[in-house]
Copies of this chain bind each other. A is one copy, B any other.
């Protein structure tokens, strides 16, 4: 009996590797993948039809699952919207932070951030930030999202201030200039149609050129 336990433990281990059930870490990963698919699909529908006009049934139908299946991944429609908007805003903040860490001249950082902003507002979650008003959410849930938005605004103001300090751009009011740049870029999320000739890169190029040179810029 004293020698058998190690053998049986070994057989048990072998049996586990061929189990028809997925290992816990793999399960968590699959669950997260599915949760992300629920959120992306919801964001697409919100952006196409609006938040009110999208039901959990619509989201479930597009994913070929039943409504009860959705509840395994998300709590309710409000929580889905919050997650979509938070995800869009956090991706933007991460992009801005990575740009800051990469260093370099403020003007180059500002241009990189404008590219990041344009790319994100043309993606599902970023588009949600722009197209779905936060008045759709209960007042007490808006504070966290507004704080993230304020973080993005502050980052743009800091970059504009730094650009003026470096004499890379003309003196200006950083607040109003940040609003103007962000406003123009936000609105891309309103009119952008995926798959068209105007790619996010082309849009960013044109906007950056006009913002930098001005309309009067290079007159012939």
Find the B residue at minimum CB distance from A169: B215
Of the candidates B168, B176, B218, the one whose C-beta lies within 8 Å of that of A206 is: B176
Q: Please tell me which stretch of A3-11, A26-34, A187-195 contacts chain B, meaning at least 4 of its Cβ atoms lie within 8 angstroms of it.
A: A187-195
Smallest beta-carbon distance A202→chain B, Å = 8
**Count of interface residues, chain A, beta-carbon cutoff 8 Å:** 46
Number of copies: 2
The main secondary structure of chain A at its interface with chain B is helix
On whether the beta carbons of A206 and B173 are closer than 8 Å, the reply is yes
Query: Interface digits, A151-189 against B, CB 8 Å rule (1 contact, 0 not)?
Result: 000000000000100011111110011011111111110
- Say if the beta carbon of A20 comes within 8 Å of chain B: no
A contact set with B: CB distance below 8 Å: 49-50, 52-53, 131-133, 135-136, 163, 167-173, 176-177, 179-188, 190-191, 198, 203, 206-207, 210-220
On whether the beta carbons of B136 and A170 are closer than 8 Å, the reply is no
Q: A176-B207, A183-B188, A186-B190 are in contact. List 8 more A-B contacts (CB 8 A).
A: A50-B135, A52-B136, A170-B219, A183-B185, A184-B187, A186-B187, A213-B214, A214-B216
On whether the beta carbons of A176 and B190 are closer than 8 Å, the reply is no
Smallest beta-carbon distance A169→chain B, Å = 4
